[in-house]
């Protein structure tokens, strides 16, 4: 249902408040660039430091600004099942096309607990759901057997795989028919080689047409062209996740490109001067900034 290049949209701030005017501009930029889907209030959208009211308003504003031109898959996960149900229900009420729901973090549920968590949300809210598996942040890996079991539920339609393990992606692809989306830009092509159908992308915040060119080639089966785009995007994709914790580097990049303020909320802080210099060089090498 959801394939291609879906952008993991940042949440812009101004004086520590959500900058809804800039948020609308970022949505418009993505639509003009042909992005296949917009994913607000996920990891890149700094959902942990948004209030519930802000979280809901960001979803609503993105849905309104998208105006049906591009699907919106709202981040509605929580480590509380009741809270995830509430956010997912709200997303459906305001017109989101789907929900991206992360594995519960910190409380480290068992595989059975994971199954019951996602099954309860799917039962309570009839909206297409993409599972979000990112053990590096959540402290627990949702195993392929659990994902395959959840795939039997009609409105669970996809999984965002951010484990970095191609063997796991292969097991999922073999065991069920869920749409598999990469959770790491640098792995979009490798994951596609074993069954992936796209990416929920950080780097698409700044180069959406290039990421779409990569995923279009993948979906067309043109892996020679896809590899060319992978090679072009690789260094920047790696840097935006390795220089510091996401979304610190992408927000710094967007500030350099005058797309948003680059402000973060504590406990996230900006790049060190040395890493900022590295980022500037990477953006320059890509052609997004001119040489000083």
Residue by residue, DSSP assigns 224-270 as HHHHHHHHHHHHHHHHHHHSSSTTHHHHHHHHHTTSS-----TT--P
Which one is catalytic: 56, 160, 197, 212?
160
The tokens for 258 are 């005058």
258 has catalytic annotation = no
The tokens for 281 are 């060089």
- HSE-up of residue 95 (Cα within 13 Å, Cβ side): 14
> What distance in Å separates the CA atoms of residue 182 and residue 5, rounded to the nearest whole number?
10
**Interhelix angle 223-242/248-256, nearest 10 degrees:** 100
Which one is catalytic: 115, 132, 197, 286?
132
Neighbours of 32 (CB within 10 A): 11
> 161 and 181 in contact (C-beta within 8 Å)?
yes
- 228 phi/psi in degrees, rounded to 5: -65, -45
**Residue 79 burial (10 A CB sphere; 0-12, 13-18, 19+):** middle
106 has catalytic annotation = no
Residue 104 gets which letter from DSSP? P
Put residue 262 in one of left, alpha, beta given phi > 0 → left and psi -120 to 50 → alpha. Answer: left
> 37 and 73 in contact (C-beta within 8 Å)?
yes
What positions carry a catalytic annotation? 132, 160
């Amino acid at each position: 249902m959801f394939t291609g290049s879906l952008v993991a949209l940042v949440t812009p701030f101004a004086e520590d408040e959500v900058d809804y005017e800039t948020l609308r501009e970022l949505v418009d930029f993505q639509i003009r660039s042909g992005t296949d889907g917009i994913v607000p209030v996920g990891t890149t959208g700094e959902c942990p430091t948004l209030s519930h009211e802000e979280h809901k308003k960001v979803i609503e504003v993105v849905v309104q600004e998208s105006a049906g031109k591009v699907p919106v898959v709202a981040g509605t996960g929580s480590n509380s099942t009741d809270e995830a149900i509430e956010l997912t229900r709200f997303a459906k009420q305001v017109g989101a096309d789907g929900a991206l729901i992360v594995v519960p973090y910190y409380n480290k549920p068992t595989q059975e607990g994971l199954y019951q968590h996602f099954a309860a949300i799917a039962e309570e809210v009839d909206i297409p759901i993409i599972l979000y598996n990112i053990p590096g942040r959540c402290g627990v890996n949702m195993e392929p057997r659990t994902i395959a079991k959840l795939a039997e539920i009609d409105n669970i339609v996809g999984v965002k795989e951010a484990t970095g393990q191609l063997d796991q992606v292969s097991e999922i692809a073999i065991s069920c028919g869920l749409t598999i989306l990469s959770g790491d830009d640098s792995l979009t092509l490798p994951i596609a080689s074993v069954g992936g159908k796209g990416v929920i992308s950080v780097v698409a915040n700044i180069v959406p047409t290039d990421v779409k060119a990569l995923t279009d080639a993948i979906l067309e089966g043109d892996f020679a062209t896809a590899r060319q785009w992978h090679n072009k995007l690789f260094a920047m994709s790696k840097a935006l996740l390795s220089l510091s914790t996401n979304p610190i580097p992408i927000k710094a990049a967007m500030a350099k490109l005058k797309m948003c303020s680059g402000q973060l909320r504590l406990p996230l802080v900006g790049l060190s001067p040395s890493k900022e210099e590295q980022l500037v060089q990477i953006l320059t090498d890509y052609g997004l900034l001119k040489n000083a």
